[in-house]
């Protein structure tokens, strides 16, 4: 029949390809969302060979430290995971849960860190301590202590109160019969916390005020707090995030089926799009009172690492997820965008770095994972950007700032003068990877009137990185003014990349005081460099067949028409990085292979710092 209709011109072939016979239209309950880009990842490199959105900044908010807890959160616990994010009272709030070593092994508590700008974060403090049962209440047979587990963490109530929430349960299985209940406390504007209450007891047990450690929320004399708690309990979409720990009595939740870790957003037509792990999705037309049957979105490749969907500040939509089914190797963290919240395109890498896992722990999968953003109603930062949070290696906490509109191309020449940027502020059009011990920022150096981009590094197992996307072209003329604060330690790799992350041009300010180039499969000394001395580096790249590059340092020809380190068709990025390129762990690395803590991981390495004053780039096809 369809062949005859095609011949008659009644239907088009492209329509049949998108909506084949027997399937309803994309955007319906049969396929709420679709990725149409066709671009997948290369599983070998950590960034998947994906392009980055221009200007994304990755900031580490917490770095675990076992032997020097005072440099971390005061406990020295090294399993840290499942962060949440809110923006309230002109402040970012990040909540995450933590165990001493392993996932789902007692004890467990929940912490909160704060930031005024999203870049500099406070030392985390415990908001929900490890559970201590009342006298006479013992751990049931088959369980091993108490742990925390929660799929949501914040609620800004209609009356303006900010609630923090978490869930207590029995280790190693807090779900269903192992659950105790959800706890709540208020966060006050001065940063202090109110008393802890239970807001809901787990429905599978006979839990109440007599056999638990905290009173029920209705006992509070603060009517505003009680009102905020009731508003949370009556918010179907917020409450639906709590289903995983405690599915409740029969028909309490409108969702049926094996789905986990809800994320939701409203489409322009008012319908709610629900997203879960493993690319499961559904629709609601009545604010979560009922949902369509969850179905798997066939065009989204992902696993159990959580997905996050939201409407972005520019009125478009984004889904952030890990586009691989390698559950133990959760990288890269990527995103797709949409005009309508239905059809998504342009798979881009948000966080493509996987540093070494410093501490072994059970189920500590590699990579950036368990992404969450700011839920609808939980605040809107004023900087016209999308903010997300996630853990890396289930060890450290991170956030990313994604400017909108999301774009991956740059047109025209680059003329960056850091003196025109805010000291310590957002670095316009630069992609930043900024660990706690290897920060990237604009600084007043050499003076407040003449600023520079600084990459500091005292992390023994990570590095600072700054990347400038420029107009893609076969040829590029690149100029940068670079200074090393020392010449006897550290290194700065300067690389030119193509759209896939290939590195045809590789230069290095090395720890032996030499500027080097990678040629003929080896590093070649070009000339010495002096500490605290600005060096003008000019690179001419030609990516035509038998591509080559030339290099001038301080006006002197250092390289002329040298072969590229690897063949490319074009170039589009300039990278500065304070450590060598890494490709470990690989997809074959066993995340459950026990290993001792990496040597020296808890102590800063000798500081190395590098500054970049100006960057100029002109490219042509």
β-partners of residue 81 are: 97
**Distance between CA atoms of residues 573 and 529, nearest Å:** 24
Three-state DSSP class for residue 514? strand
Looking at residue 596, what DSSP letter applies? Answer: P
- Dihedral sign from CA coordinates of 269, 373, 242, 224: negative
pLDDT by residue (tens digit) across 93-120? 999 999 999 999 999 999 999 999 999 9
What's the pLDDT score for residue 23? 55
Q: What is the dihedral of CA 554, 450, 606, 364, to 10 degrees?
A: -110
What's the pLDDT score for residue 18? 42
pLDDT by residue (tens digit) across 182-240? 999 999 999 999 999 999 999 988 999 999 999 999 999 999 999 999 999 999 999 99
What's the pLDDT score for residue 8? 34
Q: Which helix (H) or strand (E) holds 523?
A: strand 522-528
**pTM of the predicted model as reported, rounded to 2 decimal places:** 0.95
Looking at residue 418, what DSSP letter applies? Answer: G
Q: Which residues of the chain have pLDDT under 70?
A: 1-24
What's the pLDDT score for residue 5? 35
Tracing tokens 């940068």 back to the chain, one arrives at 480
Task: Give φ, ψ of 512 to 5 degrees.
Answer: -95, 10
**Distance between CA atoms of residues 79 and 73, nearest Å:** 12
**Distance between CA atoms of residues 323 and 394, nearest Å:** 18
Joined tokens for residue 138: 């013992």
Distant-in-sequence, close-in-space partners of 511: CB < 8 Å, separation ≥ 6: 488, 489, 490, 491, 608
Three-state DSSP class for residue 395? coil
């Amino acid at each position: 029949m369809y062949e005859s209709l095609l011949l008659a011109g009644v239907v088009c072939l492209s329509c049949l390809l998108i909506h084949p016979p027997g399937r309803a239209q994309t955007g319906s309950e049969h396929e709420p969302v679709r990725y149409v880009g066709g671009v997948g990842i290369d599983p070998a490199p950590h960034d998947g060979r994906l392009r980055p959105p221009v200007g994304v900044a990755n900031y580490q908010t917490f770095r675990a430290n076992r032997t020097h807890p005072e440099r971390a959160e005061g406990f020295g616990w090294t399993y840290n995971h499942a962060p949440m994010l809110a923006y309230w009272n002109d402040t970012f709030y990040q909540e995450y849960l933590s165990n001493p070593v392993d996932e789902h092994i007692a004890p467990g508590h929940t912490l909160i860190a704060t930031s005024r700008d999203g870049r500099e974060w406070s030392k985390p403090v415990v908001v929900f301590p490890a559970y201590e049962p009342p006298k006479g209440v013992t751990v049931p047979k088959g369980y091993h202590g108490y742990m925390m587990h929660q799929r949501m963490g914040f609620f800004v109530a209609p009356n303006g109160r900010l609630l923090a929430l978490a869930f207590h349960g029995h280790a190693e299985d807090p779900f269903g019969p192992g659950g105790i209940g959800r706890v709540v406390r208020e966060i006050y504007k001065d940063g202090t916390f109110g008393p802890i209450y239970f807001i809901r007891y787990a429905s599978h047990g006979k839990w109440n005020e007599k056999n638990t450690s905290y009173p029920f929320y209705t006992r509070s004399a603060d009517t505003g707090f009680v009102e905020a708690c009731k508003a949370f309990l009556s918010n179907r979409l917020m409450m639906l995030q709590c289903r995983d720990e405690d599915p409740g009595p029969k028909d309490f939740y409108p969702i049926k089926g094996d789905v986990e870790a809800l994320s939701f957003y409203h489409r322009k037509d008012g319908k709610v799009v629900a997203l879960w792990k493993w690319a499961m999705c559904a629709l609601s037309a009545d604010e979560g009172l009922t949902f369509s049957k969850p179905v798997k979105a066939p065009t989204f490749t992902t696993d159990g690492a959580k997905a996050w969907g939201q409407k972005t500040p520019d009125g478009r939509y984004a889904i952030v997820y890990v586009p691989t089914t390698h559950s133990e190797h959760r990288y890269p963290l990527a995103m797709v965008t949409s005009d309508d919240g239905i059809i998504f395109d342009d798979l881009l890498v948000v966080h493509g770095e996987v540093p070494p896992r410093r501490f072994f722990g059970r189920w500590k999968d590699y990579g950036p994972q368990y992404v969450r953003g700011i839920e609808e109603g939980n605040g809107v930062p004023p900087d016209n950007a999308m903010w997300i949070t996630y853990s890396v290696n289930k060890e450290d906490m991170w956030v990313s700032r994604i400017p909108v509109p999301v774009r991956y191309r740059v047109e025209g020449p680059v003329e960056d003068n850091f003196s025109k940027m805010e000291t310590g502020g957002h670095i316009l059009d630069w992609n930043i990877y900024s660990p706690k011990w290897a920060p990237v920022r604009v600084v007043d150096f050499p003076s407040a009137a003449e600023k520079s981009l600084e990459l500091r590094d005292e992390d023994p197992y990570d590095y600072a990185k700054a990347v400038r996307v420029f107009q893609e072209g076969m040829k590029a003329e690149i100029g940068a003014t670079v200074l090393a604060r020392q010449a006897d330690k550290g290194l700065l790799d300067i690389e030119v990349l193509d759209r896939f992350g290939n590195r045809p041009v590789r230069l290095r300010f090395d720890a032996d005081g030499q500027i080097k180039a990678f040629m003929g499969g080896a590093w070649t000394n070009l000339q010495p460099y002096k500490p605290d001395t600005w060096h003008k580096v000019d690179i001419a790249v030609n990516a035509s067949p038998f591509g080559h590059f030339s290099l001038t340092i301080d006006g002197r020809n250092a390289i002329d028409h040298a072969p590229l380190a690897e063949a490319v068709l074009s170039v589009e990025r300039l990278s500065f990085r304070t450590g060598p390129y890494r490709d470990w762990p690989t997809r074959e690395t066993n995340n459950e292979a026990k290993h001792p803590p990496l040597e020296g991981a808890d102590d800063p390495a000798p500081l190395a710092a590098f500054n970049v004053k100006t960057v100029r780039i002109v490219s042509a096809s």
